[in-house]
Copies of this chain bind each other. A is one copy, B any other.
Amino acid sequence: MNDPLNTEEKILEAAKRVFVRSGFEGTSMQKIADEAGINKALLHYYYRSKEKLFEQAFSKIFRQFVPRAQEIFNSEIDFFDKIRLFVSTYIDLLVENPLVPGFILQEINRNPNILYHIITQAGVNPSFFFIHAEKEIAAGNIVISSSKHLFINIMSLCIFPIAARPLMQKIVFQNDQRSYEIFLEDRKTEVSDFIINAIKRK
Question: Interface majority SS on A: helix, strand, loop or mixed?
Answer: helix
Scan residues 153-202 of chain A and give those whose CB is less than 8 A from a CB of chain B.
153, 155-157, 159-161, 163-168, 170-173, 175, 183, 186-187, 190-191, 193-195, 197-199, 202
Which residue, A104, A168, A173, has most C-beta atoms of chain B within 10 A? A168
Task: Provide the residues of chain B in CB contact with A52, threshold 8 Å.
Answer: none
- Which of chain B's residues have a CB closer than 8 A to the CB of A167? 104-105, 108, 115, 119
Which A residues contact B (CB, under 8 angstroms)? 22-26, 99, 102-106, 108-110, 112, 115-116, 119, 124, 126, 143-146, 148-149, 151-153, 155-157, 159-161, 163-168, 170-173, 175, 183, 186-187, 190-191, 193-195, 197-199, 202
Copies of this protein in the assembly total: 2
A114 to chain B: closest residue by CB: B166
Chain B's closest residue to A179 (CB) is B148
- Chosen A-B contacts, 7 in total, with CB atoms closer than 8 Å, are A102-B109, A105-B164, A116-B170, A126-B172, A149-B190, A159-B164, A197-B197
Are B163 and A148 in contact, with the CB atoms below 8 A?
Answer: no
Contact partner, A160, options B156, B168, B173, Cβ 8 Å: B156
Tell which of B22, B104, B149, B193 touches A194, judged by Cβ atoms closer than 8 Å. Answer: B149
Quick check: B168 and A152 within 8 Å, CB to CB? yes
A159 to B164, CA, bound (A): 10
Contact (A126, B164) CB under 8 Å given A106-B105, A202-B202: no
What is the chain B residue whose CB lies nearest that of A161? B152
